[in-house]
Structures are given as C-alpha cells and as structure tokens.
C-alpha cells in the first residue's frame, strides 16, 4: 500500500506538490491554532483551523478524485483569504505570512491564476490602513513583495517549462508524437484508480495495422514510418481532445476514451474504422486496420482490461482482418 502511494507521488508531480504543501500546512499551522485556543484567542484559532481544514480538504480531494487543478485553485483561495485575514487581525505582525503565500501560490496552480491571486493580495495589503507602522516599512514591503512575486513567477515558469520538456521526452513516441507505452500504463493505472472512486464509463481500443511487416519489407522502413505517422494524424483529427492515443509498440496503437459506454465505443470505433479505410494509404495502396475494443469492468485491473481489448483485436484478425470486434460480444 505504501509503495503504491509513493509510486503515485513519483508519477504525479502536481499531486506531490499539493501533498507537500498540504502536509506542511497541517504541521506548520495547526500547532498555532491549538496554541491560540489555549491562550484564549478564540477567533484567531478559528481562522488558523479554517485554513488548515481548507488546505487539507483540497489535498484529500486531489488524492481521492485525481482532480489536481481544482484542488490547487482551492488551496490558492484558502492561502490568499487566510493571509488577508491574518494581516487584518495582526497588522504588520502578519506580513511575513504574505511572502510565504506569494511564493507557494505559484507552485499550486497555473501561473496566471496564482499571479492574479498574488496581485490582489498585495494590492489589498499595500493600500490597507493599519498594515504598516511607518511609511518606510510600507515602501520596503511594496518593493520586496513585488520583487519576490516577480522572481518567483520567473522561477515557476522556467521550472514548468523544463519539466514539460522532460516529461515529453520521457512519455512521447518520437515518431508519431503520440504517448508511449510508459505513459499509457500510467494513464490506465490512473483511470483504474478514478473508476474505483467514481465509476464513470471508459472505453479502450487497440488498433493493429494489417500486414504492416510487408510494407517495411517491400518498401522500406521509411515508408512504414510514414504510414504510422499518417495513421496517428488521422486518429488525432477524428477523436476528441479528451481521448488519449498511445503507440504501444510496432504497429499497435491504443485509444483511451473517457465517458464512453460500450455502445458509444462501438459507434466511435466503427466510424474511425470507416475513416481509416478511406484515408490510410501506403506506397502499395490502402492499409487496413484490425480493431478490438473493451469497456471497463468494476474492480478490473488495467492489465486485464488491456488483455480483453487485445483479445478482441486478435479475434478481428482471425475473422479476416480489417474489422472491429468488441470484447463484450465475445462472451
């Protein structure tokens, strides 16, 4: 169980950041809440407790649903409102927390959302009477907080750009620009986890180009590569943005379809198959495709799900190739 949780954190950078911040907030702020209650500062203790509750709830939501973006935005809201409240209650004694919030916001959500929240926070603090004990302190805070915000924005931007490039190299098939097998396995495992919590319908299909070895043997690997590129381009144009296409290996591709029932998947695959028959050509003429599809069962592992789709694809091969077979029809 622990190994599974650690592996999930290694695979999901956003979830790791949300968990790091959520855990730090609980460990760092909750003791202050207890101390405030013990000292009789009831309302300050309530504010600290509310911040901890909001941030920890968002963290648990990310773990439970996989919706990191929504959880990150909610954490930023909790951060910003909490910092404003503390500054109002403590005056200039609450200013150090503003710097913490400005920095962490950029690592919890999209930069533009974090920047908007930070600008709003700083403008309110800068212009509020009673936040500073002197004009010199106010000017010093304005300059230093603006610099911290700007430098953190640049750092977050550079970090995100480098991470995206590295993730693309590690998870993308360089020939077809589709996801590779590593990314496919990660996505299927993620979907299985989400399906166990919220049982939405998913469809999985395997596409295998018929007699593809002959294309390579007769016309060369360069011609074969061009057929694979054309196949991937056709599917990208004919599928939704939410659908995920992967190259599993060789001439086999996997299509993952969210919010898709078995009957909807059948319709989609038959439509895609017709489009491929019309558009997919090789140097020796049309290239046909055998397709196998499978819906996701409750409590099914991604390996079993993939195996059922693979069995359906091989059934299409055995029935003469160039057709669609759905696993649920095999009995």
247 in helix, strand or coil? strand
> Measured between alpha carbons, how far is 71 from 62 in angstroms, rounded to an integer?
6
Known catalytic residue at 129: no
Do 179 and 245 touch, CB atoms closer than 8 A? yes
Distance between alpha carbon 252 and the CA centroid of its chain, in Å?
A: 25
For residue 109, give the nearest of 152, 76, 62, 153 by alpha carbon. 76
CA–CA distance from 284 to each of 218, 225, 252 (Å)?
Answer: 9, 14, 20
Do 253 and 231 touch, CB atoms closer than 8 A? yes
Q: Which residues contact 313 (CB under 8 A, 6 or more apart)?
A: 206, 207, 208, 290, 291, 292, 325
Catalytic pick among 251, 252, 263, 270: 251
For residue 85, give the nearest of 145, 131, 53, 21 by alpha carbon. 131
| 244 beta partners | 256
Q: What do you get for the CA distance between the two ends of the chain, in Å?
A: 34
Q: Residues 112-137, buried b or exposed e (16+ Cβ, 10 A)? A: ebbbebbeebbebbeeeeebbeeeee
- Beta sheet of 324-326, edge-to-edge order: 244-249, 252-258, 202-209, 289-295, 324-326
Question: How many CA atoms, within 13 angstroms, populate the side-chain half-sphere of residue 80?
Answer: 22
**Catalytic residue positions?**
251
């Amino acid at each position: 169980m622990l190994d599974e949780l650690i592996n999930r954190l290694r695979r999901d950078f956003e979830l790791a950041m949300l968990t790091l911040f959520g855990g730090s907030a609980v460990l760092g702020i909750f003791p202050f809440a207890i101390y405030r209650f013990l000292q009789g500062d009831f309302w300050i203790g309530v504010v600290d407790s509310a911040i901890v509750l909001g941030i920890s709830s968002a963290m648990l939501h990310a773990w439970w649903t996989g919706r990191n973006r929504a959880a990150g935005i909610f954490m930023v809201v909790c951060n910003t409102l909490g910092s404003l409240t503390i500054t109002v209650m403590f005056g200039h004694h609450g200013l150090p927390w503003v710097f913490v919030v400005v920095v962490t916001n950029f690592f919890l959500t999209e930069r533009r959302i974090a920047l908007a929240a930070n600008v709003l926070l700083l403008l309110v603090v800068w212009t509020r009477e009673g936040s500073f004990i002197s004009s010199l302190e106010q000017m010093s805070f304005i300059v230093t907080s603006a610099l911290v915000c700007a430098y953190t924005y640049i750092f977050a931007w550079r970090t995100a750009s480098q991470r995206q490039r590295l993730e693309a190299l590690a998870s993308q098939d360089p020939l077809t620009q589709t996801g590779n097998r590593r990314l496919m396995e990660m996505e299927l495992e993620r979907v299985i986890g989400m399906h166990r919590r919220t049982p939405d319908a998913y469809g999985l299909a395997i596409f295998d180009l018929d007699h593809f070895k002959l294309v390579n043997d007769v016309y060369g690997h360069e011609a074969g590569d061009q057929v694979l590129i054309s196949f991937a381009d056709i599917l990208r144009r004919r599928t939704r943005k939410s659908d995920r296409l992967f190259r599993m290996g060789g001439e086999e591709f996997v299509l993952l379809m969210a919010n898709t029932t078995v009957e909807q998947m059948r319709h989609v695959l038959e439509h895609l198959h017709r489009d491929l028959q019309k558009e997919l050509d090789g140097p020796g003429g049309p290239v046909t495709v055998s397709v196998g599809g499978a819906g996701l069962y409750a409590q099914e592992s991604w390996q079993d799900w993939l195996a059922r789709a693979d069995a359906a694809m091989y059934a299409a091969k055995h029935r003469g190739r160039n057709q669609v077979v759905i696993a649920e029809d095999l009995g």
